[in-house]
Structure 1
Amino acid sequence: MQDPGHLPAPDDTGSATEERFAYQAQGGLRAVMEMLAGGGVLHVTCEHFEDVLVARTDGTVPGGAALWDFQQIKSREGQKNWTLFGVLRSKALASLLRTHQVLREHQDLTYVLTVGVEGVLSSDADVRAVAQGRGGDSAERLDRIARYLGANAAETAGFLRLVRIEELPDRYELERRNRDALFDLAPHLRVGEAEAMHADLLNRVRLAMGGRLGPHWQALVTRLNVPERVLRKRLTPQKLRDVALRLDRLDLADYVLRASRRAAQIHPYPGAESLSMPSLSSVYVPQRLQRITPESGQPSGRAADRSADDVAGAAALPGRAPVCLVLAGPGGGKSSLLRAVQADSAERWPAPGGQGLLGVTVPATALLGSPLPSALAAAATRQLATFALQRTLSDELFLNRPAPGACWLVLVDGLDEITDRDDRQNLLHTLTNFASEPDPLYRFVVASRPLPEKELRVLGPDVPRYQVMPFSRSELSEAARRILDSLGIPDSRDAAGRFVRVLDDAYLTDFALTPLMATMLCQLYAADPGQSLPDTRGALYAKFTDLLHRRMSGRDQSGVRSQAEAALARFGPTAMSRAHDLLDQLPETIDSLAFGHHSGSEASWAAALAALDDARRPRAVPEDDWNEFLSSVLGRSGLLTRAGDGFTFLHQTFQEHCAARHLARDPTSHARELNRLLGPWKEDGGTNPWGAPLDTASYIGFLIDPGTAPPTDPAPCLEALAVPDNIRGCLLIATLLSLGTLLTGQWKPLIQAAAQAMATACADPDGEATPRVWAAAVLAELDLQQGTTALEMLADDQGLDDEFNEDPHSPDFSDRLLAARRLLELDPPRGEDACYRLVHDPDLYGSVRVRAAEVLLSSGDERVCRALGYLAEAADLHFDDRLDAARRLATLDPEAAVRALHILIEDYRGDPDWLDWCIAAALALDDLGDGRGRQITDELSVGY
């Protein structure tokens, strides 16, 4: 279908008309209202060719093509009624003739030409005839019009057959009718809401008349099939879908349009208030996600990289498990990812065709103790109350689909922040039960720090699991550029380059590859580019919290001290003195409260603060004034954010840091807490080391970090873990190294001892096979070169699978394959070579060899067709393994698969014990389009 938007218009002025003729805007709005009502209007374009161009589809045009209505809209010019002379003098027909002269060359366009006049037509027969498309029926009238237009009679006759004149109400009545149409479309609207919507729509028409529908609207257009200058004048259902949503579902519109889009833009990391952090969208750099295997908790290979959209989609595709799990370490980007998914779903809503997902982010802790719809309504209302939410969200909103065929995408943040393991298990049971319904209303993305595998088994093997990967060097540079630019650093690209070089010089680059660390380090760098950066995580947090406190309690006009003086001075010097004392001691006070909450205290932050001696209310200050001051202090600290009626830390690691700093002031309590947390790491027991309480590693790191620990050597408390028979303890050491706790030289002997212990464990020929592979995987986290060499050795060790750790019919039971897959994640070329060798190893179970080929397939190795073809024809494999290989080969090389299936059938055709399998292979041939498959099936089935 041709679109006049591609054609040069003879008259295309636009902006002048916008200011001079408000009537044309109401005329254009009339067609927009028809589009919103579902009246067959495809889109409305203003000031291109004519005042208004309306594209309709009503079934009258062959092939379902559009009928294009080019409209000249004329307001009253003093005459009582419109005569033919008045219409001619308005130049409406002259303009439409020029349009006709451009369009008539295009045979695939079906169009009409309309003059819309404010008022009524006179009783004059000539104007009445033109209004009905009969202007050329009279030779005298035709000659008169042709002479006025300066055209020949034949051209004018053809033109007049397409012309219609429509009587329009006066400007006040037209505006009233447009307003009434809004009430008819949505009687639930209050008068003020309808007035605001009318003004919004009229403004959009005016913007279109001036060619100023900007890029935000263009981004919502699904097919950019006309030039940008026309897109800026065109109103489409996609551009008005937010209005359509407000007309249809006001509660949903309030959630999506007013609150969800705004809330999802708030940056999740500290500094968002006191350091004027920008919106999340302006600094967000999407991270890569990698599929991980439930058996090992380790990434499954380089080809499993996904984007955030893919993770949301993993819970969205029909036939796929409607739950997926996203894992990352502290500050690894989980919250940013969920907010980005929510913002994207809100921005795209409603999806074309009523399909899709609408995200709602909710803390995992908010889902305990209430039915899911009630918990979602309460949590969403609490979180969005400060983002222009106009009404309390009801349970009913989340009991129903957001649109026919659509689902709620529940983004559960911080599963690990539920401290009770039974509660975590119960929540996972609840989510899986909702998700297992035949046509689920909810789909879930659950974000968490790594948790013991035994806790996650309730999700089942089919639930996709992803690990948020650290930034690459280029992604770190881009994240730094965006953050520094938003903080007002000039020449942000050059500044980001200098920042990364500073990290390199301080050996901190690997430490900065998570969003939280990058954000904090950028803010410290921006505050003083010449300063040295902290060398451990605890030192970084200490320096950053000091910066927050200095900014918050400064003496400038925006500082809390100045504001406290303005608010409390009238209550006398005692009140002022107590306020200043509280601000001076605020870091220690927050530390104390953080430890209380980390230990399970249920008291609200404000109540706990008010109960402290340093925060006692002065007698002269009314309770409401003092509580308002305390809330202001907490909210301005840079570490806390409002959560309903209380506060919560912007990031869990800051609660851990502050709690550890509180314990450091009491060495006895510190030692007792550290011993309690290290207990589960001291006894390995031969179990999967990734079953250890990984959620405690971050807190342990703060307790031993010199930036937060007592002034004693913390190394001895970990030295007992660095022994060959404690893989779990060495995993803790490796985790603390990756978190940035063990970066300084004092920890080097400990890391070397742990690496030596794991090297000894994985090389022990008398050791059990699976723990040897686990030890090599931990060794790789401590010393990459030693670890990959050990994994390669184990993958090639033909004695390793003498005893199997699982049912041999499981595709992942082989320890050698486990070693090869871990090697593939760390060193793809060597890992692929190891898998290729497993494919050709006759001492392995056939299922393992086929699985090794599947791993090659997932990694994109070019040898996979050769490997699968070899296995499909290998005489030393069982029939079922050869058949599996042939089926997988069929997706890559159908001809080779057909050849392999024929060989397979011939090898076993005479053996009655394999008759069922031969029939299955013949049916596979038929599925591949080989006509012999049906014939062979019939032959084998005779006498069956």
Structure 2
Amino acid sequence: MRDPGHLPAPDDTGSATEERYAYQAQAALRAVMEMLAGGEVLHVTCEHFEDVLVARSCSTVPGGVTLWDFQQVKSRETQGSWTLSRVLRSKALASLLRTHRALKEHKDLTYLLTVGVEGPLSSDTDVRAVAQGRGGSTAERLYKIAKHLDADPGETAEFLRLVRIEELPDRYELERRNRDVLFELAPHLRVGEVEALHADLLSRVTLAMRGRLGPRWQALVTQLDVPETILRKRLTPQKLRDVALRLTRPDLADYVRASRLAVQAHPYPEVGSPGMPSLSSVYVPQRLYRVMFESGQPRSSPADQSPGDAADASAFLGRALVCLVLAGPGGGKSSLLRAVQADSAERWLACEDQGPLGVTVPATALLGSPLPGALAAAATTQLAAFALQRTLSDELFLSRPAQGACWLVLVDGLDEITDRDDRQNLLRTLANFAAEPDPLYRFVVATRPLPEKDLGILGNDVPRYQLMPFSRSELFSAAQRILDGWGVPDSGDAAGRFVRVLDDAYVTEFARNPLMMTMLCQLYAADPGQSLPATRGALYAKFTDLLHRHMSGRGQSGVRSQAEAAMARFGPTALSRAHDLLDQLPDTIDSLASGLLSGSEASWVSALADQDSARRPRAVPEDDWKDFLASVLRRSGLLTRSGHGFSFLHQTLQEYCAARHIARDPSSHAAELDRLLAPWRENAGNPWGAPLDTASYIGFLIDPGTASPTDPTASLRALAVPGNIRGCLLIATQLSLGTLLADKRKPLVRAASQAMAAASADPDSEATERVWAANVLAELDLQEGTIALETLVDDRLLDEEFNEDPHSPDFSDRLLAARSLLELHPQRGKDACHRLVHDLYLYDSVRVRAAEVLLAVGDERACPALEYLAEADIHFDDRLGAANRLAPLDPEAAVRMLHKLIEDYRGDPDWLDWCKTAAQALTDLGDPRGRQIIGELSVGL
């Protein structure tokens, strides 16, 4: 029994006045600060057996035994020194004797028993002897103590050898000394910071004395080796890591503390009162899938799915030096990055093995600025609302957060950099930083899907993860958390009704998008009886209208009331101009959004001031008017203020407002739509190289919810032809965005589906293009797309040209179709791969790769498939590859297959080197015959 935390205390009858309690806390604080200073204290436990239990590493005892110091702390009610009689009357020795009796049978415990007394000991020989562990050195003293304790003299003598008495300073001096220790440990801190640290530490000690230390103990304790009740009383280095960090690196401690709070702010827009709940209270983790690239086409791999929670995501994404997170508009990218940053700070403090520490930065902030400076500026701006105490410096991000640790730079919104050259240059810069020996930074880049020629700068070896929308089963839990976060009563029942409303309105697929889900929940919470919008544009129209009505309310919190209070003193003209501005604000924001989308770089306040509706009244000073304009923009609900001025809360809000502005002019609308659709009319090879970053904005331009003056059906119908896979991909993208959900657009979806069905079945088309067409068909019509992919997997003519040109098996179009099928229907995809393994018409390396795919997705047929191929009548190196792949899974089978392979070919001199390679594989597996076979083969040369 090496830890007394496992033992029940002999009694728990102690009671104390607040005054003695405070002194006891200061006494315990001495050991806590010794632990912080790197001394021999391992941890401190309060109110278990005695007032304070200090565990020390006993360096003088062989084997590194822990020395347990059980301390009784006694404050004095009157002045005067401590005599032996006074110590006995304090009952400190009686309490320590009970502890001794409870512990002495445990021979593996090394312990001391200490009485800490406030004030000096008297010069009395008896009390001095007890203080030094010699209390039983005279019979008279031993008898006196034993009689007082009602104990046997022999037991008392053994007990007193373990007892020490320590003189402690008075309460004021003890507190001063504790503060002085903090000043010594951290001379760089300001007086106020030291005072705050002292108060924080004292508070934690007091909580430990009351058994209420936490509530984060479970996350901070690496091993639950004692009961929870003891852990709530125990101060450990893990629990004090943030304090230790504040002593040594206050800027880093400030950053970590604020980062842990970063999930309090939700990145999505909100309407209503009292406001958006914290992201941490409503955040529903999403799944990440590894995106594979074959023939330039992205495909998700279920074998590489990450766990869904943020804790696992932060470790998962931090493995690679650079990785990409892809999701459509409102797909949850910003929420994920915020959650990862906060969780990495939590884990970083909690774990001995410190991993990467996250820092989020907008991609646009990295243009034209050195990386450390951009990180410092972005982090300071982002965390200012979370009680960040200092402006973060470049030096913080020029050094490691801890030895062996690095910064996990979370780059948000690569797609918001509109210039392609700037995007590519930024990716090159990040790749160069990551390529340095022992790099200081790792990067996670979040973006909407972009053309492959943009992302290809990083190469196909850089991991790419698709952030998946909510599954149907996740919709209910997501709705419940969101509605509960807004305080909707009976959130479980409300979430059930909400999901039924989604089904009734045929917008369930639409709601799988996190941003759409959040907005729909807000509209539902505002009026549970209303019907939900049928398209994305209609949702944004309803949502922005609700934002404007909320902003323009005449309550005390409404912007009109505040505008009247601010402008009334400047006269009726100023007041009238303010009301005109508010009336025209939606149209004005739409106009400014369109200008910004087309490349204008004017600041929002300056751009607004240039509008006729926002001209400054003569009576209003310029600074007052600019402050008023800034407050109006901030209260619009659409914008947020950052270090660079105002920006939209979400890019889709800017796209919607810009589209609504364009839609007011039929000629401008037609010209803009024609410009944006032009690249989608080109069937220039790979459809995945299309300008996917424009798809969301196009969606708002064609959505009836934006009240477009012209019907774009004809333009879109021209895209839905078999020869234009790229154009049909745009239609499929609009369907997934919720643009084409209205009944009048269903014929367009059917036309695109028919076009892709025809393209995938056309035997005269390129094989890869047929697979692409089947993939697009699956996005338009899941059932038909699945059937088309199965048909292509089984089409032996599909790889006919490939079989004449044996190159990488990853370019097999039949295998490409099978892997696509895996994502859509896992069981059908597995069955398809299994059929490919046994297809004698297929190139040998493709059959082996199909078996590896089965292995990657955990299919039980994978090992038998590899064993079958390792002895099949296929090419030597493919048999060898199958055997090597089998080796870590079934070594005995792999050894059999390798021997069989060698025996089949060892008589043929053309295969001698291959046989030696197989024999070396036997040796690597520990088969002693492998070296013998190599020798025999070498002799035969």
User: TM-score normalized by structure 2?
Assistant: 0.97
Following superposition, the deviation at residue 18 of structure 1 comes to 5.1
Q: Deviations over 1:313-335 (max 9, x none)?
A: 34534xxx411111001111111
Is the Cα–Cα contact under 8 Å of residues 282 and 478 in structure 2 kept in the other structure?
yes
Q: Deviations over 1:380-433 (max 9, x none)?
A: 223233332232222211111111100000000111111011111111111111
1:468-547 residue pairs with structure 2 within 5 A?
468-547=467-546
Pick closer, same or farther for the CA change 1:576–1:297 going to 2, 3 Å: farther
Following superposition, the deviation at residue 806 of structure 1 comes to 12
* 29-38 vs 345-354, greater mean Cα deviation: 345-354
Residue in 2 that maps onto 1:564: 563
- Report the 3-state secondary structure (helix = DSSP H, G, I; strand = E; otherwise coil) of the residue aligned with 2:756: helix
Residue in 2 that maps onto 1:110: 110
Following superposition, the deviation at residue 60 of structure 1 comes to 3.3
Q: Deviations over 1:30-86 (max 9, x none)?
A: 011001001021111111111111111132344334211110011124252211111
Residue in 1 that maps onto 2:741: 743
Is the Cα–Cα contact under 8 Å of residues 272 and 550 in structure 2 kept in the other structure?
no
Is the Cα–Cα contact under 8 Å of residues 42 and 56 in structure 1 kept in the other structure?
yes
Whole-Å separation in 2 of the counterparts to 1:913 and 1:309: 55
Letter in 1 for 2:623: D
Is the Cα–Cα contact under 8 Å of residues 315 and 443 in structure 1 kept in the other structure?
no
Is the Cα–Cα contact under 8 Å of residues 805 and 813 in structure 1 kept in the other structure?
no
* 745-754 vs 805-814, greater mean Cα deviation: 805-814
- Report the 3-state secondary structure (helix = DSSP H, G, I; strand = E; otherwise coil) of the residue aligned with 1:349: helix
Residue in 1 that maps onto 2:701: 703
Residue in 2 that maps onto 1:776: 774
Residue in 1 that maps onto 2:178: 178
Is the Cα–Cα contact under 8 Å of residues 42 and 57 in structure 1 kept in the other structure?
yes
Residue 907 (structure 1) aligned to one of 887, 904, 911: 904
Pick closer, same or farther for the CA change 1:150–1:537 going to 2, 3 Å: same
Residue in 1 that maps onto 2:551: 552
Q: Mind listing any 5+ residue stretches in structure 1 that lack a counterpart? A: none
Pick closer, same or farther for the CA change 1:490–1:273 going to 2, 3 Å: closer
Residue in 2 that maps onto 1:939: 936
Size of the alignment, in residue pairs?
Answer: 938
Q: Deviations over 1:608-643 (max 9, x none)?
A: 111111111111112222111111111111111111
- Report the 3-state secondary structure (helix = DSSP H, G, I; strand = E; otherwise coil) of the residue aligned with 2:222: coil
Following superposition, the deviation at residue 218 of structure 1 comes to 3.9
Following superposition, the deviation at residue 243 of structure 1 comes to 0.6
Letter in 2 for 1:624: D
Whole-Å separation in 1 of the counterparts to 2:15 and 2:443: 48
Is the Cα–Cα contact under 8 Å of residues 46 and 209 in structure 2 kept in the other structure?
yes
Following superposition, the deviation at residue 903 of structure 1 comes to 1.2
Residue in 1 that maps onto 2:256: 256
- Report the 3-state secondary structure (helix = DSSP H, G, I; strand = E; otherwise coil) of the residue aligned with 1:215: coil
Pick closer, same or farther for the CA change 1:13–1:759 going to 2, 3 Å: farther
* 802-811 vs 389-398, greater mean Cα deviation: 802-811
Is the Cα–Cα contact under 8 Å of residues 365 and 417 in structure 1 kept in the other structure?
yes
Residue in 2 that maps onto 1:292: 291
Whole-Å separation in 2 of the counterparts to 1:792 and 1:92: 82
Whole-Å separation in 1 of the counterparts to 2:459 and 2:825: 29
Residue in 2 that maps onto 1:635: 634
Q: Mind listing any 5+ residue stretches in structure 2 that lack a counterpart? A: none
Whole-Å separation in 1 of the counterparts to 2:269 and 2:60: 61
Whole-Å separation in 2 of the counterparts to 1:397 and 1:807: 55
Letter in 2 for 1:589: T
- Report the 3-state secondary structure (helix = DSSP H, G, I; strand = E; otherwise coil) of the residue aligned with 2:810: coil
Residue in 2 that maps onto 1:22: 22
Whole-Å separation in 2 of the counterparts to 1:100 and 1:268: 58
Residue in 1 that maps onto 2:764: 766
Whole-Å separation in 2 of the counterparts to 1:921 and 1:310: 40
Pick closer, same or farther for the CA change 1:42–1:17 going to 2, 3 Å: farther
Residue in 2 that maps onto 1:930: 927
Residue 916 (structure 2) aligned to one of 916, 919, 922: 919
Is the Cα–Cα contact under 8 Å of residues 221 and 350 in structure 2 kept in the other structure?
no
Residue in 2 that maps onto 1:861: 859
- Report the 3-state secondary structure (helix = DSSP H, G, I; strand = E; otherwise coil) of the residue aligned with 2:904: helix
Q: Deviations over 1:777-801 (max 9, x none)?
A: 1111111111111100101111111
Pick closer, same or farther for the CA change 1:376–1:807 going to 2, 3 Å: farther
Residue in 2 that maps onto 1:400: 399
Whole-Å separation in 2 of the counterparts to 1:493 and 1:298: 38
Letter in 2 for 1:611: D
Whole-Å separation in 2 of the counterparts to 1:193 and 1:346: 21
Whole-Å separation in 1 of the counterparts to 2:885 and 2:605: 61
- Report the 3-state secondary structure (helix = DSSP H, G, I; strand = E; otherwise coil) of the residue aligned with 1:276: coil
Following superposition, the deviation at residue 607 of structure 1 comes to 1.0
- Report the 3-state secondary structure (helix = DSSP H, G, I; strand = E; otherwise coil) of the residue aligned with 2:576: helix
Whole-Å separation in 2 of the counterparts to 1:412 and 1:355: 21
Residue 894 (structure 1) aligned to one of 891, 897, 918: 891
1:67-86 residue pairs with structure 2 within 5 A?
67-86=67-86
Whole-Å separation in 2 of the counterparts to 1:911 and 1:125: 100
Residue in 2 that maps onto 1:242: 242
Q: CA RMSD in A?
A: 1.8
Whole-Å separation in 1 of the counterparts to 2:315 and 2:348: 15
Letter in 1 for 2:778: A
Following superposition, the deviation at residue 484 of structure 1 comes to 0.8
Residue in 1 that maps onto 2:875: 878
Is the Cα–Cα contact under 8 Å of residues 354 and 404 in structure 1 kept in the other structure?
no
Pick closer, same or farther for the CA change 1:889–1:17 going to 2, 3 Å: farther
Residue in 2 that maps onto 1:847: 845
Is the Cα–Cα contact under 8 Å of residues 477 and 496 in structure 1 kept in the other structure?
yes
Whole-Å separation in 1 of the counterparts to 2:937 and 2:612: 89
Whole-Å separation in 1 of the counterparts to 2:569 and 2:471: 55
Whole-Å separation in 1 of the counterparts to 2:701 and 2:231: 59
Pick closer, same or farther for the CA change 1:636–1:576 going to 2, 3 Å: same
Whole-Å separation in 1 of the counterparts to 2:12 and 2:591: 69
Whole-Å separation in 1 of the counterparts to 2:278 and 2:522: 15
Residue in 2 that maps onto 1:188: 188
Is the Cα–Cα contact under 8 Å of residues 219 and 350 in structure 2 kept in the other structure?
no
Following superposition, the deviation at residue 272 of structure 1 comes to 7.2
- Report the 3-state secondary structure (helix = DSSP H, G, I; strand = E; otherwise coil) of the residue aligned with 1:614: helix
Whole-Å separation in 2 of the counterparts to 1:65 and 1:850: 57
- Report the 3-state secondary structure (helix = DSSP H, G, I; strand = E; otherwise coil) of the residue aligned with 1:497: helix
Letter in 2 for 1:47: E
Letter in 2 for 1:336: S
Following superposition, the deviation at residue 10 of structure 1 comes to 2.5
* 50-59 vs 416-425, greater mean Cα deviation: 50-59
Q: Deviations over 1:172-207 (max 9, x none)?
A: 221111111111111100111111111111111111
Whole-Å separation in 1 of the counterparts to 2:934 and 2:376: 57
Whole-Å separation in 2 of the counterparts to 1:862 and 1:743: 41
Q: Deviations over 1:357-391 (max 9, x none)?
A: 11000011111112212221222223233332232
Letter in 1 for 2:758: T
1:224-623 residue pairs with structure 2 within 5 A?
224-257=224-257, 259-271=258-270, 276-295=275-294, 297-307=297-307, 308-317=310-319, 321-350=320-349, 352-353=351-352, 355-623=354-622
Residue in 2 that maps onto 1:676: 675
* 9-18 vs 509-518, greater mean Cα deviation: 9-18
Letter in 2 for 1:525: Y
Whole-Å separation in 1 of the counterparts to 2:558 and 2:515: 25
- Report the 3-state secondary structure (helix = DSSP H, G, I; strand = E; otherwise coil) of the residue aligned with 1:113: strand
Pick closer, same or farther for the CA change 1:212–1:19 going to 2, 3 Å: farther
Pick closer, same or farther for the CA change 1:61–1:584 going to 2, 3 Å: farther
Following superposition, the deviation at residue 14 of structure 1 comes to 6.8
User: TM-score normalized by structure 1?
Assistant: 0.97
Pick closer, same or farther for the CA change 1:778–1:645 going to 2, 3 Å: closer
Letter in 2 for 1:711: P
- Report the 3-state secondary structure (helix = DSSP H, G, I; strand = E; otherwise coil) of the residue aligned with 1:292: strand
Is the Cα–Cα contact under 8 Å of residues 732 and 779 in structure 2 kept in the other structure?
yes
Whole-Å separation in 2 of the counterparts to 1:533 and 1:134: 84
Letter in 2 for 1:760: A
Identity of paired residues, percent?
79
- Report the 3-state secondary structure (helix = DSSP H, G, I; strand = E; otherwise coil) of the residue aligned with 1:271: coil
Following superposition, the deviation at residue 292 of structure 1 comes to 1.0
Is the Cα–Cα contact under 8 Å of residues 274 and 638 in structure 1 kept in the other structure?
no
